[in-house]
A and B are shown apart, each in its own frame.
Chain A
C-alpha cells in the first residue's frame, strides 16, 4: 500500500455539495475518539468553515471495554453559513465497535452513512454491547448506508514492518478512520501531521505508525472506492478577521487573564480539580509568563478563601468549580460580599444534584447563583451563551467584580466548556476599560464609597497610612468598624443591595434578535443560545414571526428587560432545568411565561425548540 498526499492524488469519485454536515465519532473511551474529533475540528476550522462541536464522554476514565457504559463520542457540525449547534442528528457515524453503534444509531438521520470497524463485531463484542444478533447481518441497519471496514486489520497492515506490538499497532486505528473522514470531506491532513510530529517528537516509532495509519486511511478510500462519492461543503462567509477555534474552558481562562492584564492586576486563580472545570485550571497554570498565580487548593473552600485573600492583598482573585464546589464556596462568597472585595467565581455547571452527572451538561444552578447563600447576599451573575462568549463574559465578570468591588458569578456549563467554535480574535486594546477603585490618601476610610457605583476603595496591604481591618461582622459604613445596631444593619443590607443594582447602570441593555414587539419572544440564557437561534431561524423560514432575547446579565438584569418582555404576547423560555429563569422573570416582572424544559444531561436540539415555537406561534 502506498502513501497518499491530500493534494496530489487524482480524485476518482463524484462530489456532492452539502450545505452542512453532522459527524459523530464513537468508540470505547480508550479509543481516542476525543482526539480524533479534535483533529477533524482543527482541520475543518482551518478550511474556513463555521462549526460547533460536542464531546460526550463517560464519567469513568476507562469503563469496561466494549460496553455501552464505556462509549465515548465526539460530534461536530460544520457548514457554509452560521452554525449554532453541533447538530441534532448525525449524517455520518463512525462506530469503532458494536457498543458505539448501538449507543448512537438511534440518533442518526435516515440514510445516514455508518462506518463500522467490522473487525470488532465478533460474537463476544456483540455480547458485550448487548446485541443478540449481529446488526450488520440481521437487516436492522437497512435504513442506513453501512460501510464495513476492516479497520483493525488494515491498520495493522499499514504499520506491519515497524515491529510494533499488536496493542500499539491497534491504538493507531483511530487515525486510519480519521484519514478516511479527511478523504470523504476533502479536509487537509497537514494540521494533523504537524500535530503528530510535535506530540511524538521523541517517539519516532509511534509517530511513524500514526502517520502511516492516517495516510493509509486516506489511500484506502482513494484506492478502493469504499465510498461512492465525496462531499463538499461550501465555506462560510464570516466577518473579516483572524480566527481560531476555541473551547469554552479555554475562552474562560483567557477572559480572566485578559481582564487581569487590562486592569493591570495580577491574576490569582485558586481551584480544586472538578469536572468539567479542571481544564480552566490547566489553562491558567500555563500563563506563568503573564505573572498569573495558579493555586491548586486542598479543597473548594480553600480555593475561594485563598482567592479572597489574594484580592485583599491586591490581586484579581478568581476561582472556578462546578455544582458541588459551588455549595462549598457559599459561605466564603458571603464573606466577599461583606468585605466588598473583587472575586470571580466561575461555575461550569453539570448535571446534579450531588455528584449527579459529572460529564453531562445542565443549567440548573441559576437560582443557586442568585440566592444560594444565607441572608441577603446580593451577587451579580453573568452567563456565557456560546463557547467563545465565555471569553467575553468571564471578562465582564471580572470587570464588574473590580469596578463594583464585589464577588461575581460567571456561569458556563459542560456543553460550553467542552464544546468549541471558531472565534474572531479580539484586539486587546478594544476590550472595555476596567476602572479600579483607588483609595484617596487624603481622606481614607475603608468603606467610603464612590457615589456612582457605591464601590469602596481598594487599599492594599503594604500601603502606608491605610492600615485597616475588614471582616465578616456587620460594620458601620465609612469606618468599617463593627456595629451591631439595628438601624445600621438595615441600612447596610439596603446599601449592599443597591450597590449591586447600580451595576445595571453600566452593563449593556438587552438586545433582541427579530421584531421588537409581536406575538412570540423566545427568552434564553446560557448554552441554549445555539439551539434557540437555529430554531428561531427555522421558524422564520417557515414564515413565523418570532423574536429571540438571550440574557447574558442575570443579576442585575439589564434595565430594559421588563419593557422587552412586555412587548410580546407570549414569552417562551427553554431551559435545561425545571424553569428557573421562568420563575425569576414571573416573580420580577409579573409576566406570564411558557416554560419549556429539558433535563437529560444533553442540550436542546434545534428541532425540539422549533417544534415548541411552531406550536406556540400558530
Chain B
C-alpha cells in the first residue's frame, strides 16, 4: 500500500442511522479502527450483511458492501469468497438473522471453513421489527410476541458455532472497545471461518440485557477473558481461576501466584471439548461468563481446496479447450 489507511478511510458518506445510544455505533467504530491495521488495501474488503438493524452496517463502511436478504449473508459471502479468494470478506449479522432465518447458512459456512468473518451482533431481541423474542432471548422473556414470556429455550450461539466446527470462535462486548479490537484483529488474521459473537445493547427493546455481566463494577467478577497462552483468571483481585475437576470445571481461589491447576488457555486444540465447556461455563451458578477466543484452529480453507482442485485439473489436463470439449465423446462427420 502506498499510503497508510486510517479509520476515516473506512467511513462512508452515508449518515449513520441507528437509534441514539445503540451498541452498533461502538462496534462500527471498533471495526473502522481495526480495518486500517490489517495491511489490506481498502478495495479488497467486502462487507456482506443480511437483514436487521446490524445489517445496515455495510452502508456505513467505505468498502465494497452488499446488503443482501434476511439470513442469507453467509451464503452470499461464500460465493464472493469462492469467486475471488483474494478478498477479505466480512459478514455482519444479528441473532435473528444468523441464528433463526439464516441458521442453515451459518452452520454450513462454518463447517466448510470458508474464510469469512461472521460478526454476530447479539442483542437477544428483534430490533428492526420492533421487539419480538429472538432465538437468543432467554426463556420466559416477555416481549410483544411473547406476552406471557418466551416458551422456547434459546440457542447458545458459541455452542452452535463450535458444533458447526467453526475454526475460530470468539466473544466480545460492544462497550469494551479495547477487548473487541483485539478479538476482531485476531479474527481478521485467522485464515478460515471465524465466528465472533458481540454482545450489543439494544437500548430501545432490550435495554441493559448484558449489564449484569458487562457493567464496569461487576465485569471483573462476572466475566473472564480467554486469552491464548494465559491462565484463565478473573476477579477484581485476579485471585480466582478456572480449573478442572475430572470432567467438570471448578473455580479455585488463591493468593499470590496462579496455581498450576488453573487452566492455561489453549484455543488451538483441535478437539473442541474444552471450548464447549467454556461456551457453557456460565450455565453453572457462580461461574463467570467467558469472553475472548474460544477456539482458533488452523486448517485449509474451503476456497483453497476448491481452487487447488482447479489448479490440479489444469496442470493435469491443461487449460480447458472449449472447442475440444464440445466435440468430445463419440462424434461423426456428415
Contact = CB atoms under 8 A, between A and B. Distances in A.
Contacts of A472: 51, 67-69
Nearest to B10: A467
Contact of B79 (A310, A425, A469): A310
Contacts of A307: 79
Interface stretch (A58-66, A297-305, A402-410, A435-443): A297-305
17 contacts: A242-B332, A290-B319, A291-B320, A293-B310, A295-B79, A298-B105, A305-B68, A305-B76, A309-B77, A309-B79, A309-B80, A310-B79, A312-B80, A314-B83, A332-B72, A462-B87, A471-B67
Contact of A306 (B41, B79, B87, B331): B79
Given A293-B306, A309-B48, A467 B331 contact: no
Interface stretch (B20-28, B29-37, B135-143, B322-330): B322-330
B334 A331 contact: no
A295 B78 contact: yes
B43 interface: yes
A302 B73 CA distance: 9
B56 to A, nearest CB: 9
A240 B332 CA distance: 10
Contacts of A45: 330, 332
A287 interface: yes
B205 interface: no
A243 B331 contact: yes
Nearest to A308: B76
A295 B82 contact: yes
Interface string A462-497: 111111111111000000011000000000000000
B144 interface: no
Given A335-B68, A425-B331, A289 B318 contact: yes
A467 B326 contact: no
Contact of A467 (B42, B80, B318): B42
Interface in B242-297: none
Contact of B104 (A298, A315, A335, A425): A298
Contacts of B104: 298-299, 302
A308 B79 contact: yes
Interface string A257-299: 1100100001010100000000000000001111111010111
B314 A302 contact: no
Interface stretch (B58-66, B151-159, B222-230): B58-66
A241 B46 contact: no
Nearest to A461: B64
Contacts of B64: 461, 467-469
Given A45-B332, A305-B105, A473-B67, A291 B43 contact: no
B179 interface: no
A465 to B, nearest CB: 7
A15 interface: no
Contact of A470 (B43, B66, B105): B66
A309 B333 contact: no
A295 B312 CA distance: 17
A254 B328 CA distance: 11
A332 B50 CA distance: 11
Given A289-B314, A302-B72, A268 B332 contact: no
Interface of B: 12, 14, 41-46, 48, 51, 58-59, 61-69, 72, 75-84, 86-87, 104-105, 108, 306, 309-310, 312-314, 316-320, 322-323, 325-334
A461 B78 contact: no
A217 to B, nearest CB: 21
Contact of A469 (B59, B84, B86): B59
Contact of B322 (A242, A243, A261, A306): A261
B209 to A, nearest CB: 27
A425 B330 contact: no
A312 B76 contact: yes
Which one of B48, B69, B81, B87 has the highest number of Cβ atoms from chain A below 10 Å of its Cβ?
B69
A305 B81 CA distance: 12
B332 A289 contact: no
A34 interface: no
Contacts of A332: 69, 72
Given A305-B105, A339-B66, A471-B68, A428 B322 contact: yes
Contacts of B69: 305, 331-332, 334-335, 472
Q: Which 9 A-B pairs have the closest CB atoms?
A: A309-B79, A471-B67, A306-B79, A290-B320, A288-B313, A305-B75, A309-B76, A313-B83, A469-B65
A473 B59 CA distance: 11
A337 B40 CA distance: 31
A359 interface: no
Contacts of B45: 461
Interface in A207-261: 238-245, 254, 257-258, 261
Given A241-B334, A312-B80, A425-B327, A469 B66 contact: yes
A308 to B, nearest CB: 6
A191 interface: yes
Given A292-B310, A309-B83, A335-B69, 11 more contacts: A42-B330, A48-B332, A241-B333, A293-B82, A302-B105, A305-B72, A306-B78, A309-B78, A313-B80, A313-B84, A472-B67
A314 B81 CA distance: 11
A263 B160 CA distance: 41
B330 A191 contact: yes
A257 B48 contact: no
A287 B313 CA distance: 9
B79 A461 contact: no
A309 to B, nearest CB: 3
A482 B41 CA distance: 26
Contacts of B332: 45-46, 48, 242-244
A298 B108 contact: yes
A291 B314 contact: yes
Nearest to A423: B326
Contacts of B14: 469, 481-482
Contacts of A335: 68-69
Contacts of B334: 48, 238-243
A315 B61 CA distance: 23
Contacts of A473: 67
Contact of A463 (B43, B317, B328): B43
Nearest to A299: B104
A258 B83 contact: no
A494 B309 CA distance: 45
B188 to A, nearest CB: 17
A48 B82 CA distance: 43
B84 A461 contact: yes
A78 to B, nearest CB: 14
